[in-house]
Amino acid sequence: MRHKNSFWLNLIYFLFGCLITYWTCQYSYFNIDNTINISETLIAILTLIVGIFIAVSLQKRQNKNQNLYNFLAVKLDDLWNRYNSFDQQLNYSQQIEVKQCTVFFKEFEVKYQSLKKLFSTFEISDQNIDYLANEMEAFEDILFNECSISNNIISYFMCLKKINSKKELIHEYFAHILKRINKIS
């Protein structure tokens, strides 16, 4: 049924186009010249070929950049979400298990190295990735060396000011990296 309607609709459009063409030709809105100018025809064909080449190459470049953007954005999003969940755990209590911190920092390091490798593979330079790693190491150092640890539980009430400042810096570096990724597309 749908193909029948499509056929009739296309037939109506065709007849309407024929009617408009006939009407405009009758009242001399168009002057149709039956001679062919070879130089103008060659220029038109060459312009068409160049235009198609430019459009195809721009589209390929746009698709490549979009794919790269999507790939890097997903990797960064995964890393940032993992950090945010750890950050929320820190916000809701004044202590955390050593095992949770150790697991988080190990997972973060693996995902961070993967993201850093992608940036270097695609030859995208961004020093914020290195700054992020440095801040995470400093954050880990504060948790494990400056906060009190007893019975495999880190109590970070005394270090809360330092921890909050590090968390803010880490979020800033994530935002800078996301900004750099957005410049790709």
Predicted pLDDT of residue 76: 87
Contact 185, 69 (CB under 8 A): yes
**pTM of the full structure:** 0.65
Q: What is the DSSP letter of 145?
A: I
**Residue 15 confidence (pLDDT) above 60:** yes
Give tens-digit pLDDT for 132-181: 889 999 988 988 888 888 888 888 888 888 888 998 999 999 888 888 88
What is the helix, strand, coil percentage profile of the chain, to 5?
80, 5, 15
Predicted pLDDT of residue 1: 45
Q: DSSP secondary structure string, 60-111?
A: HHHHHHHHHHHHHHHHHHHHHHHHHHHHHHHHH-SEEEHHHHHHHHHHHHHH
Give tens-digit pLDDT for 70-111: 888 888 899 999 999 999 988 888 888 889 989 999 999 998
Give tens-digit pLDDT for 113-132: 888 888 888 777 778 888 88
Reported as a pLDDT band with limits 50, 70 and 90, residue 29 is low
**Residue 27 confidence (pLDDT) above 80:** no
Spans of all domains in the chain: 64-182
Give tens-digit pLDDT for 52-68: 999 888 888 777 777 77
The sheet with strand 153-155 has its strands ordered as: 95-97, 153-155, 148-150
